[in-house]
Structure 1
Amino acid sequence: MARFGSARFTTVQPGVKINNQPRPAPRTRAGGSLVAFAASAVVLLLLLIFILQNGQRTDVHFFGAQGQLPMGVALLLAAVFGVLLVTIQATMRRIIQLRLLTGRRRTPYTSTITRPDPADADPGADVPEGRKS
């Protein structure tokens, strides 16, 4: 049994060749998350550059509130609120769609289950026929 840090080395043979070319490395979750992290870092860098280049102050009025914000921050907030509104609308649409779908699959409850009265039941009814005494 090999331990970590042992002096024994093993050589790794290359994988099966496909069309006389080495097999590509398999995709992993770690690789996908690394790509997503790098892409989000690039987007955040571009947003930072956009905000810094649009630093002139502008008046903002929203439902009676007013103030001054840098133009880049105001546009970024408008974009974030727009994304939130679209997300809320899409979520509500999906919830309504799923409720309608489950409502169609339900069968109407038309009959009532009645249980027999224990006083009317035969006392030996649950005993198999060969065992009655």
Structure 2
Amino acid sequence: MTRAGVVWAAVIVALIVLILLIVFFLQNQDTARVQFLGLDGYVPLGLALFIAAVAGGVLVAIAGAVRILQLRLLARRARRAPKP
């Protein structure tokens, strides 16, 4: 598959995901009370769930990045260590 083909496939997948997100938001318009760090308010349920999912993804990405950095540091130390 060419690079243009890969880009085209990625665009199609992104559009499908976007359509699914729009459907999700439209089906979950009930309001939900949200309290966080002293803030209090009402937001649509779909938005609250989406924000929670994105926050979870960010936490997983941070944990993964920290682990990758740990492994790189270990690999660098192993390369520099004198071999007997």
- Normalising to structure 1: TM-score of the pair? 0.59
Inter-partner Cα distance in structure 2 for 1:36 and 1:105: 38
Equivalence map 1:112-127=2 (5 Å) = none
Q: What corresponds to 1:55 in structure 2?
A: 29
Please tell me the residue identity of whatever aligns with 1:89: A
1:78 aligns with 2:52: yes
Counterpart of 1:98? 72
Identity, in percent, stands at 40
Cα deviation, residue 103, structure 1: 1.1
Tell me: higher relative CO, structure 1 or 2? Use CA pairs within 8 A at least 6 residues apart.
2
2:18 maps to 1:44: yes
Q: How much is the aligned-residue C-alpha RMSD, in angstroms?
A: 1.1
Deviations 1:92-128 (A, max 9, x none): 10001101110121146xxxxxxxxxxxxxxxxxxxx
For residue 36 of structure 1, give the secondary structure of its aligned residue in structure 2: helix
Aligned to 1:28: 2
Give the TM-score, by structure 2 length: 0.91
Q: Provide, for residues 59-116 of structure 1, a one-character-per-residue CA deviation record: whole Å limited to 9, x for no partner.
A: 01122222110000000000100111000100010001101110121146xxxxxxxx
Asked which structure has the greater CA Rg, the reply is 1
Structure 1 runs not aligned, ≥5 long = 1-26, 109-133
**Unaligned residue ranges in structure 2 (runs of 5+):** none
Greater share of residues in helix: 2
